[in-house]
Amino acid sequence: MDGSSGLSGESNPRVTGSVSPLTPGPEEVMRYRSPLVSRYASREMAFNFSDSKKFQTWRRLWLWLGQAQRSLGLPITEEQIQEMEANLENIDFKMAAEEEKRLRHDVMAHVHTFAHCCPKAAPVIHLGATSCYVGDNTDLIVLRDGFDLLLPKLARVISRLADFAERYAEMPTLGFTHYQPAQLTTVGKRACLWLQDLCMDLRNLERARNDLRFRGVKGTTGTQASFLQLFDGDHDKVEELDRMVTSKAGFKRAYIVTGQTYSRKVDVEVLSVLASLGATVHKICTDIRLLANLKELEEPFEKEQIGSSAMPYKRNPMRSERCCSLARHLMTLIMNPLQTASVQWFERTLDDSANRRVCLAEAFLTADIILSTLQNISEGLVVYPKVIERRIRQELPFMATENIIMAMVKNGGNRQDCHERIRVLSQQAAAVVKQEGGDNDLIFRIQSDSYFAPIHAHLEQLLDPKSFTGRAPQQVLKFLKEEVIPLLSPYQSKMDVKIELDL
C-alpha cells in the first residue's frame, strides 16, 4: 500500500533520539506518566499515537467521506467540503471532553465538536457512518504509519551491524555452545547470526505492513446497508464510495467483509511481528551483555557516564539491559490481542476498546525505543582484540590436539600412541588451569616432550587461530552480499541518521 494519512509528526531530523525527559510541572508530578513517552520513545512515534493525530485523522475521514459522497451525487455542497477542510486542525479539546462526559460516547462528542466549528457542514458530517468508520480506519492508518517509522530504524540497525560484521569478518574469536567453550568462529560471523534474525524481522514487518487493508465504508454491522439506502439501492455507487475513501486514505485495498470492526486477527498479526522483533533484540543484547562480562566487546560508554553509584570502576551495559527489559515487555503484549480476537462475539463486542488503546500503542512505542537504542549500541560497539586473543590462547591448545595428532601421523607417528600422550598432557594442563588458576600450558608441555620433536617447528602454524575458523569469513561476505545488501536497498535514502540517546 502507498501513501499516508497526510499527517506527520516532525520532519525526519539528521539526529534523532528519545524524547528528552522534560522537567514536569507541579500538576504532572502528581499523575502517572507512561515512561514509554515521557522517558523513551521518539517524538515521531509519540505523535503517531497522540490525540492530535487521532482526532485530526477522524476529521480527515469525515472530509474524505463527504468528498466521495458529493462526487457520487449526494446533496453535499462544495462550501460544506471547504468548511470541513478548513477546520481539520481546529480542535477544541476542552469542548470535546465536556461533550464526551455528557454523551458517554467519544465519537459523537467529536462529531458535535467538529459540527460546532463547521455549522454549514454539520448536517453531513458522519453521514451514514458508524463509530468504527473513524475508529477502526484511524487505527489502521496509525498502524501503517507506525510501521513506516519502524522499518527505516530497523534497516539502519541492520546496516550498522552489517558494517561491523564486514569489519570483523576474519577476526577469530572463541565460539560458545551451552555457554561453554566450543570451536572458533569470527567476530563478524557471530554478528551475522544477529543479522539473520533482524533480516527475518524486517521482512516480517514489511509483510505485516503491506498486508494491512483499510476497513473502509462498511456501516454498523459491515453490510453497508446505510450507504445502500443513501444511494437508493445503487450497489455500484456504494462500492465506488468504499474504493474512493480507501484510496484517499492511501490504501490499495479494503477488507471486503467486516463486522462492525475489522477482524481483530489483524491486531494479532501486527503484534506478532513486533513481539518476534522483541525476541531478536533480547537475544542480541543478551549476547552483548555476556561479551561485556568477558571484556571482549562493549557498548558505547559516555565520558561522564556512571556505571555504579558504589563501584566507580564499573561499566555496566545499561543500554543493552534496557533493550532486554523493554523487549520482554514487548513480547508479553501479544497475549492481549490473542485473547481479544478469541472473544469477539458475532459482529463485535466493546470489550476490545479499552485494552487496544493500551497494547497497540505500547507495542509500537516499545519497538521504537528498542530499535533506537540498538542502533545507538551498534554505532559504537567496541571490540577488544587482545582480550579475545588471550581467551583463544587459553582454549585453542585443547582444540588443536586433533591437528597435532594428524601432523604426527604424517611424520611417521602412531595415532594411538600420540593420542595417549596428548591425553595425559592435556589433563595435566587442565589441572593447572582449574586447580591452580594458571594459564593453559599444553603447548609448552608438547614443546618440552621429545616425542613431538618432528612437529615442533610446525606448532605455530598448527596453532594459527585463522585455520580453525573454517569458512566463517567467506560466509560473512556471501551473506552480506546476497541477503543483507539487497534487503536494505529500499531504505538507502533514510540511512544517514545517527541516534543520540538522551538517557
Residues classed as catalytic: 178, 308
Q: Are 124 and 69 in contact (CB under 8 A)?
A: yes
**C-alpha cell belonging to residue 310:** 558504589
Closest CA to 242 of 212, 220, 222, 218: 218
| CA quadruple 81, 85, 90, 94: dihedral sign | positive
CA distances from 100 to 62, 107, 111, 357, 456 (A): 18, 8, 10, 17, 87
The helix or strand, by DSSP H or E, that contains position 184, with its residue range, turns out to be strand 180-186
H-state helical runs in 212-332: 225-230, 235-248, 265-294, 318-332
Phi/psi at 88 (5° precision): -60, -35
Of 198, 159, 167, the residue nearest 498 (C-alpha): 159
- CA dist 315 and 167 (Å) reads 24
Packing angle, helices 335-342 and 353-378, rounded to 10: 150
The answer to whether 159 and 443 have CB atoms below 8 angstroms apart is: no
Closest to 323 measured CA to CA, from 260, 369, 363: 369
What is the C-alpha to C-alpha distance for residues 83 and 96, in angstroms, rounded to an integer?
A: 19
For 159, the enclosing helix (H) or strand (E) is: helix 131-167
Closest-CA residue to 154 (of 446, 380, 484, 501):
484
Cβ atoms within 10 Å, residue 420: 11
Question: Are residues 150 and 364 in contact, defined by beta-carbon separation less than 8 angstroms?
Answer: yes
Return the half-sphere exposure (C-beta side, CA atoms, 13 A cut-off) of residue 362.
Answer: 21
Burial of 309 (0-12, 13-18, 19+ CB in 10 A): exposed
In terms of Cβ atoms closer than 10 Å to its own Cβ (0-12, 13-18, 19+), residue 79 is exposed
Angle ∠(52,27,10) on CA atoms, nearest 5: 30
- C-alpha distances in angstroms, 435 versus 395, 426, 430? 16, 14, 8
